Structure 1
Amino acid sequence: MMNGLYALGLVFAFLWGLILLHDLRGKRKENANSMPLHEEIGVESSKKEERSLKNDGQTDIIIVGAGVAGSALAYALGKDGRRVHVFERDLTEPNRMVGELLQPGGYIKLMELGLEDCLNEIDAQRVIGYAIYKDGKQIRVPYPVEGYDSDLAGRSFHNGRFVQRMREMAASLPNVKLEQGTVVSIIKEKETIKGVRYKKSTGEGKELAAYAPLTIVCDGSFSNLRRSLSSSKVDVLSYSVGLTLENCELPFANHVHMIIANPSPMALYRISSTEIRCLIDLSGQKVPSVSNGDMALYLKTIIAPQVPPEVQNAFIAAIEKGNIRTMPCRSMPADPFPTPGAIMIGDAFNMRHPISGVGMTVALSDVVMLRDLLKPLRYLNNAVAVCNDLQSFYTLRKIFSASPDQAKQEMRQACFDFLALGNVTSKGMMDLLAGLNPQPSSLILHCIAIGIYGVGRLLLPFPSPKRLWLAARILSEISNIVLPAARA
């Protein structure tokens, strides 16, 4: 019966997906018709026009932020011969509890950029799939990497070590300048971004100006430039609580362990040969206090009993050690407005939940996409024309998002059972999670199929008023995921 529900779900998903994508294709066609090709403004223009487009300054592109996205982009554009000036508030090694899991699709992008060596000498760990726990049951789902290079897998590591290696690679190029300084605002003249104002970290606090034909903002989820380039509203949906477990072994080596605990889901994965990262998601605007011991009590009494027995002692030891860290999990849909002279990528543009582990993979996909779009653009000084060319970046980039809902328990169970079916169901979902299938249509169809699968579980064999209400809430939640993905 469950397999029949899955097949029925795919049929409905296909029909619903066609409807949702119809408007998107229409918008793409409209944008394509109104978007001037670069060849029309550069290659086929006269030599006089080409000279007027050429940048006579010292910098072609300013990049704000030298995290994963900014460092990778600086290296990619520098390799293409661009003169790049990168600003980063703090160039010391970051100490973060997120940005530590790279999916196989992200590893592919890293290889496309020529940056795979950044994973060497940082004690990075191979990741070959997921182990998912719920209500005492467990399933293992490998990454669907058949047909790829035998070395293809995910990687997990200390974020700071990885970022520092990428910064070193970018700074090794003679045409890339990496500078420590805080960008305080953008310079705007007649609706066009001309550069940025910044303060050096070792100066007298005086504002300086840097100019370039194109400014790329990728300064992360706490970006202070976002309001100048996007109308998106940032919401705090939950908080991530981070622990570092030491000298213990996960039940399944080289797997991300996802525990669908009640009420706080968590992820555990190795970030070095001796350390395991534990991320716990606490929903709501307020969480137990770390300073007065409420958080430690919550973790010991509510979460610890749901952790796999193999790591319970290490989990409690990490709590007692006292190094409990929290950070807000922010949600922001991608809603930029076209601005000549500037573009946003990474978490500054659109945020994903840390526990999903897809943030770096999406960021590196952003970098590859933007590099490829910029490569044929010989000159960047015609800001309006370049802005039109780069609008396809916003059109092509899709959201991998989710949000909590009253029916989340049923949705979680539907997802767990859907993956447990195996075969094509688990492969399709893992393709998405691993970053091996970036097609928005696939995300939309699978989300709808899971929703209909969950509704079918509620309505068969006989529905009750309560189950009908839950089914309606599941469809509402699916719409909240699918509609933004189709329109982004």
Structure 2
Amino acid sequence: MSLRQETPGPVDADIVICGAGVAGLAAACALGRLGLDVLLLEKQRRQPPVAKGEVLQPGSLNLLHGWGVLPALEARRAVRLDRLVARRADGSELLTMDFGQLETERPWMLSHDYATILECLGESLGDTVRWQRGVLVDDLLTDQYGRVTGVRTAGASGREIRARAVLAADGRSSRLRRLSGMTANPVAYGHRLLSFELSGRPPVADEVSSYVTDRGLVMVYPLPDDRIRVYVQVTADELRKADRERLRNWCDELLADVPALGPLATVLRDSLDSRQLLPVFQFRASSLVRPGIALIGEAAHGVHPLAAQGMNTAIGDAAALASRLADVDLGDRTALDGALRAYETERLERIKDIHSMSHSAARIMTSTTRGGRILGRRLLSGSARSGRLRYQMTYNMSGLGMRPLGTLDRLVQLGVLPDRRRALVATR
């Protein structure tokens, strides 16, 4: 571990945020609205195109509206998605989560390109936020007691930047997490997701459709400008060094295994060369703060993208942290570190619940064993029979809150017990 001690002196910013993905930009939005002097540092000079983080949940929409980001997304024709539907390979419904049933001002999801979401966040930064690209942070500054007091940037022009607090938003392989002594152990799922962007689409429903198939998960949802995102579960080596003929054969096998994709056959075949192969991880850091530093976003947690929770949890991190810092004198290090610990206490439990929910959903939807597929479909069908469980699962997915399923709920899903709580709720 490399930590540079520095002599206390004037600060260059109230908060230094390292990483300008969704987590870093969301934190800059939220903290800038508090009037704090924020310095946002990003190592990449340009945002590369990547098929990730495209679905925003209702809970995130409420926050983005408050930060002034939502109107910019809507002006760029973000697509409203009303439902999240688990389907069989032939397209028949197993379980439908209808967001229109939620008691919230914005009972829908929005889809847009990750780069556009970042762009809209960037446009909403306040006047007290400075953003510098092409700057790699390679070390932390600490005082004589080990408290983080800033960062050091890399390169010949590297400099020391002092701050009252540092936010690590530098992703799954976070350098700052490691330097500060916090740990996370990303675990790769046994599959990957192959992503396609289809253009000139035939009509598809304004929903996220997740197909449970013998080959694993297939996901489909619309994007703006008549485009469709398709994710297909594959093994790590399934298409390694595949030539054009192998790709065409693979596509034909996919269409045969998932008849519901039939209307997309032509545009899917035309998009084979534009595919992206995405690794899939799960992890959560055991702690989120040390004196003077906090983790947010993928530096703190990662989940399977099936449930569309990663980006939305990062936005929640930013809002929770800003709420804790809103009434704190950042010049009082004791008070500031106390606020960071309060953020950690609040978010650790929420992250744990989201992680558990996302991993359970991934196991249900991605299993390729016969027993796993049977169990998954039984759980989905059992949930569909209970209006109470359908609502509870929709609420959990929405980002509005979390009401974890208990053991009795699981037994109801399996059909072992009747849903007696449904009758009790109906009589209240």
Query: Structure 2: how far apart are the matches of 1:396 and 1:430?
Result: 22
CA shift, 1:275, in A, is 0.7
Aligned mates of 1:255, 1:282 — CA distance in 2: 23
Deviations 1:257-296 (A, max 9, x none): 111122220211111122111122335x544315545972
CA distance in structure 1 between the aligned counterparts of 2:305 and 2:56, rounded to whole angstroms:
12
The share of aligned pairs that are identical, in percent, is: 19
* Residues 35-184 of structure 1 aligned to structure 2 (within 5 Å): 56-136=10-90, 137-139=92-94, 140-149=96-105, 151-170=106-125, 173-180=126-133, 181-184=135-138
Count of residues in Structure 1 that have an aligned counterpart in Structure 2: 389
Paired with 1:299 and 1:450, the residues of 2 have a C-alpha distance of 39
Partner of 2:343: 393
Q: Residues 81, 295 of structure 1: CA spacing in aligned structure 2 closer, same or farther, 3 A cutoff?
A: farther
- Whether 1:335 aligns to 2:286 is yes
CA distance in structure 2 between the aligned counterparts of 1:298 and 1:339, rounded to whole angstroms: 52
Unaligned runs of 5+ residues in structure 2 are 1-7, 419-428
Distance 1:111 1:358, change over 3 A: same
Instruction: Say which SS state the counterpart of residue 57 (structure 1) adopts.
Output: coil
Measured in 2, the distance between the counterparts of 1:164 and 1:450 equals 41
Distance in 1 (alpha carbons) for counterparts of 2:69 and 2:204 = 31
Q: Does 1:309 align with 2:268?
A: no
Tell me what 2:326 maps to.
375
Aligned-residue offset at 1:144: 4.2
* SS in structure 2 at match of 1:120: helix
1:451 is matched with 410
* TM-score normalised to structure 1 length: 0.73
Q: How far apart, in 2, do the equivalents of 1:342 and 1:287 lie?
A: 41
Q: Is the 8 A contact 1:334 1:350 kept in 2?
A: yes
SS class of match (1:60): strand
Alpha-carbon shift at residue 205 of structure 1 (Å) = 3.8
**Aligned: 1:242 with 2:242:** no
Q: Distance in 2 between matches of 1:431 and 1:161?
A: 26
Q: What is the rounded CA distance, in whole Å, between the counterparts of 2:310 and 2:397 in structure 1?
A: 11
Residue 145 of structure 1 deviates from its aligned partner by: 4.0
Whose Rg is larger?
1
CA–CA separation in structure 1 for the residues paired with 2:412 and 2:246: 36
One-letter amino acid of the counterpart of residue 451, structure 1: R
Q: Does residue 392 of structure 2 align to residue 428 of structure 1? A: yes
CA distance in 2, matches of 1:243, 1:269: 11
Corresponding residue number in structure 2 for 1:265: 217
Q: Give me the whole-angstrom Cα distance separating, in 1, the residues matched to 2:410 and 2:248.
A: 36
Q: Distance in 2 between matches of 1:186 and 1:231?
A: 16
For residue 202 of structure 2, give the secondary structure of its aligned residue in structure 1: coil
CA deviation after TM superposition for structure 1 residue 186, in Å: 1.9
Structure 1 match to 2:172 = 221
* 1:107 partner SS: helix
Whole-Å Cα distance in 1 between the matches of residues 137 and 254 of structure 2?
41
**Residues 421-469 of structure 1: CA deviation (Å, up to 9, x unaligned):** 1521211111111222x23xx1243xx3553245556x99xxxxxxxxx
Contact persistence 1:226–1:348 (CA under 8 A):
yes
Distance between the aligned counterparts of 2:246 and 2:338, measured in 1? 49
Q: Is the 8 A contact 1:304 1:316 kept in 2?
A: no
Tell me the C-alpha RMSD between the 2 structures: 2.7
Change over 3 Å in CA distance of 1:233–1:421 after alignment to 2: same
Deviation at 1:349, TM superposition (A): 0.2
Give yes or no for contact 2:56–2:312 (8 Å, CA) kept in 1: yes
- Of residues 363, 366, 370, the one that matches 2:314 is 363
The 3-state SS of whatever aligns with 1:98 is coil
Deviation at 1:98, TM superposition (A): 0.7
Q: Which stretches in structure 1 are left out of the alignment for 5+ residues?
A: 1-53, 461-488
Q: TM-score, normalised by structure 2?
A: 0.83
Matches of 1:295 and 1:84 in 2, distance apart?
Answer: 50
Report the residue type matching 1:161 in the other structure: T
Partner of 1:416: 380
Identify the structure with the greater strand proportion.
2
Q: Secondary structure at the match of 1:414?
A: helix
User: Cα–Cα, structure 1 residues 393 and 378, in superposed 2: closer, same or farther, change >3 Å?
Assistant: same
Distance 1:197 1:294 in 2: 50
**Alpha-carbon distance, 1:164 to partner:** 1.3
- For the 8 Å contact 1:304–1:312, the answer to whether it is kept is yes
- Aligned mates of 2:305, 2:172 — CA distance in 1: 11
